[in-house]
Amino acid sequence: MANQKDTPNPPSLSPREIERFYTILSQTMPGRSQAAKGPKGQPNPFRTCLSCILSAQSLDRNTALATKALFKLARTPRTMLQLDVAEIATAIKPCGLYNVKAKNIHKFCAVLIDEFNGVVPQSRDQLMRLPGIGRKCADIVLQFAFGIDTIAVDTHVFRVCNRTGLAYGKTADRTADLLQQRTPSWAVPQAHFWLIQFGKTVCLSRSPRCPVCAVNGICQTYKQQVLG
């Protein structure tokens, strides 16, 4: 119902509204399950990084096929560099954009070895120095591989933040910066999971379920477009 296209951003949620927003999500959305092992269930930071690179603009099932094929060939930065880019591209073809991703994977491994002695760093800034790793990917690696609380902004979180007034940003990175500043500390460990589930089940892209949404009384877009 609520659609933000061509509509100026209404006022951002106030700190009090943000507290209420997260309180409601904590009561209505599942948080991180104990079974969650990270992107595509990868067992270590290196493989988590490559899985993130492969998942860009790819369906989960295609990413899984590409990831499985890639790690049959090599499982460490050094053994990955023994492959040429064409071999990597062939292995990851199911995930799409495979030529670009293959080049990024090769460069990623080279930089990881040259600058970090083959060890995946544990800071966002350093992770983003690695080819193919953007802000979202870095935050996912920090969360799942290192247990550092972050709020990765994917397409669902970006949509929720900009629709509701939780954090307006023209880009996912800007939204992530604002979201980090505006989220109360008690909510940070689970916020990523609550927001994703909310975006997948309620605040849908094309047909958001505004009339039955538990936070529609807080959502700025709903109040502007529906309640007037």
For the annotated catalytic residues, the residue numbers are 136, 154
How many other C-beta atoms lie within 10 A of the C-beta of residue 137?
Answer: 22
Count of H helices and E strands in the chain? 12, 0
Maximum Cα interatomic distance, the chain, rounded to a whole number of Å: 61
Compute the distance between CA of residue 93 and CA of residue 187 in angstroms, rounded to an integer.
38
Give the helix ranges, DSSP H, for 56-117: 60-73, 77-81, 85-91, 98-116
Compute the distance between CA of residue 83 and CA of residue 76 in angstroms, rounded to an integer.
11
Sign of the torsion angle spanned by Cα atoms 113, 119, 120, 121? negative
Distance separating the N- and C-terminal Cα atoms of the chain: 14
Place of tokens 């104990």: 34
- Comparing C-alpha atoms, which of 145, 136, 146 is closest to residue 192? 136
Compute the distance between CA of residue 116 and CA of residue 178 in angstroms, rounded to an integer.
29
